[in-house]
Structure 1
């Protein structure tokens, strides 16, 4: 009876199943090849010292450039003889970073004080400060994370708006501000830094992960629009990096095989520029991304939720160890989950 019902549909269904499986395997293989390429690329850095300068030009602009990945990325570009425009909201840190880079690598720097939580006002300020400088590499690194994993109702409204303005608004409007000039010159690179949190919905970092999913989608579409104009539009999606952004858990502030420091991460990430359009930016992150994609999204979300619950506990333990006065709201809620 079953053979009579399914008989006419056996071949079409088998064909569809085969195509789906083939596409999945091809996507997995492509991710694996990208991981291998990212792994091998740094071995050729001695032969690439001036290639980015020749390919794209003498000036790069990096947002969020006084700490973490942004600062390390600026240093890596300076090593290659590229002049750096440093953009951040802290003028003292900007001046210190500029001084470090100029004294070490003998390139020019320019600092711009801008707070991207102010939205388009900050982008206008950057554009005006840059003036006629030909920005050939734009690194949209600035981002805002939750202070620690929180339920949506616990996150202050201003913080939610800041996350959206900085993570979504800044990357969008900064691309728009400089992409036409790159197109006219027929060369240029845009690097949009996302996060591995884009791979699935992420409870307790709900809005943050959603903004990173936006960056992934936005960057892919932008590449389609401008790739034929000679522009490189790269998407970086790092996993955990030992930076202040992850200060809510001591486990993420210790460099390990899978959690590099910003300097190690940036050395690999810069080496992938112009070679791969999408990358985790670091070879062990590529391995993590490859295996993370295997389970369906709902399983990844479930795992991510439990990781965030553990990081949340870490945060409260750290708070308790500093003997802060008062009881932290939400602590009892964790214990009941």
Structure 2
């Protein structure tokens, strides 16, 4: 009996020691990688060396505008693509004046599918080194699928903007990158695409598509010199998120994009910002059912608050 107890104790000791060693290695690797990513970064990787031009969709506000500005700051010429020509002209003028680079604009509505011939004509002949697929659409407020206002139209819009635009824009730009064996495609997904988010069902699903599409595309074309990145931010202080004041966990678009660009060439799937990366690591440890339950409760509360404020039943 004493012999068996001794063997069991020895086994438990080595299991415990092995577990501690494994966790120590995991934490050490995570800390090393975090320092490499956020402390050292890869800031010089993105620039005209990839190609003269950067193309940014949804580029008149928020994250898209900040990507356009940061890429212009690195000396890249910028093609701005968005819906409003007035806003496009204003942002193009600001970038041209501030960063002394050439700019072009293409005004299209990404809710439509018949816009890509116009975009293709506008991009013809340009040496495009970076494509930022940023244009996106979410709900006005969290809602049950069948209760979404104007449901059929909302389905069409979210799929056209969040899914089809990413595929079509990549289709237009990628061949030139492959021909030159260099380029970067940065697809702005969302933390809502990492795990299922009830009451934002269509948005969560479309952003999950962007994430998987990016990961697959990166594996297909990395050997051809193309870096494809899935960017999965949590809340950023933008109009889309309806957040006006930046905080530590809800950075300004400028702060977020500066951090995210440091990861290009290093990390093909990133939350783009150190605090968001920590949040993503924690959420990835949760069982899917638990995350969905927590998310459901949060969004039910947000839904009730919105409906009360707007006097809806």
TM range (shorter): 0.7 to 0.9
Q: Which moved more, 1:207-216 or 1:307-316?
A: 307-316
Aligned partner of 1:265 in structure 2 is: 256
Deviation for aligned residue 1:31:
6.3
Aligned partner of 2:86 in structure 1 is: 92
The answer to whether the Cα contact below 8 Å between 1:35 and 1:287 also exists between their aligned partners in 2 is no
The reply to whether residue 224 of structure 1 matches residue 219 of structure 2 is: yes
Deviation for aligned residue 1:315:
2.5
Structure 1 residues 54, 178: closer, same or farther in 2, change over 3 A? closer
Aligned partner of 1:145 in structure 2 is: 138
Report matched runs for 1:247-286 at 5 Å: 247=242, 252-286=243-277
Q: Secondary structure at the match of 1:181?
A: helix
Which residue of 144, 165, 178 corresponds with 1:183? 178
The answer to whether the Cα contact below 8 Å between 1:316 and 1:328 also exists between their aligned partners in 2 is yes
Q: Deviations along 1:235-284, whole A, 9 cap, x unmatched?
A: 1000111111122xxxx433111111111111111222222211111111
Deviation for aligned residue 1:313:
3.2
Aligned partner of 1:136 in structure 2 is: 129
How far apart, CA to CA, are the structure 1 residues paired with 2:200 and 2:192? 9
Q: Deviations along 1:121-156, whole A, 9 cap, x unmatched?
A: 222221111111111100000111011111111222
How far apart, CA to CA, are the structure 2 residues paired with 1:177 and 1:27? 40
Which residue of 96, 99, 108 corresponds with 1:105? 99
Q: Deviations along 1:170-216, whole A, 9 cap, x unmatched?
A: 10111111111110011111001100011211110001001111111
Report matched runs for 1:38-187 at 5 Å: 38-41=37-40, 45=43, 48=44, 51-119=45-113, 121-155=114-148, 156-187=151-182
How far apart, CA to CA, are the structure 2 residues paired with 1:28 and 1:306? 31
Q: Secondary structure at the match of 1:145?
A: coil
Structure 1 residues 96, 34: closer, same or farther in 2, change over 3 A? farther
TM-score (norm 2): 0.87
The reply to whether residue 300 of structure 1 matches residue 294 of structure 2 is: no
The reply to whether residue 328 of structure 1 matches residue 308 of structure 2 is: no
Q: Which moved more, 1:153-162 or 1:277-286?
A: 153-162
Deviation for aligned residue 1:55:
3.2
Deviation for aligned residue 1:328:
1.1
The answer to whether the Cα contact below 8 Å between 2:81 and 2:108 also exists between their aligned partners in 1 is yes
The answer to whether the Cα contact below 8 Å between 2:48 and 2:129 also exists between their aligned partners in 1 is no
Aligned partner of 1:236 in structure 2 is: 231
Q: Normalized per residue, which structure has more helix?
A: 1
Structure 1 residues 296, 266: closer, same or farther in 2, change over 3 A? same
| Misfit runs of 4+, over 6 Å | 24-31
Q: Deviations along 1:18-76, whole A, 9 cap, x unmatched?
A: 9xxx7x9998877665544342146x75xx3xx52243122100000000100011111
How far apart, CA to CA, are the structure 2 residues paired with 1:216 and 1:231? 17
Q: Secondary structure at the match of 2:236?
A: coil
Structure 1 residues 125, 62: closer, same or farther in 2, change over 3 A? same
How many residues get paired? 295
TM-score (norm 1): 0.81
How far apart, CA to CA, are the structure 2 residues paired with 1:188 and 1:127? 18
Structure 1 residues 31, 128: closer, same or farther in 2, change over 3 A? farther
The answer to whether the Cα contact below 8 Å between 1:34 and 1:279 also exists between their aligned partners in 2 is no
Q: Which moved more, 1:92-101 or 1:30-39?
A: 30-39
The answer to whether the Cα contact below 8 Å between 2:53 and 2:76 also exists between their aligned partners in 1 is yes
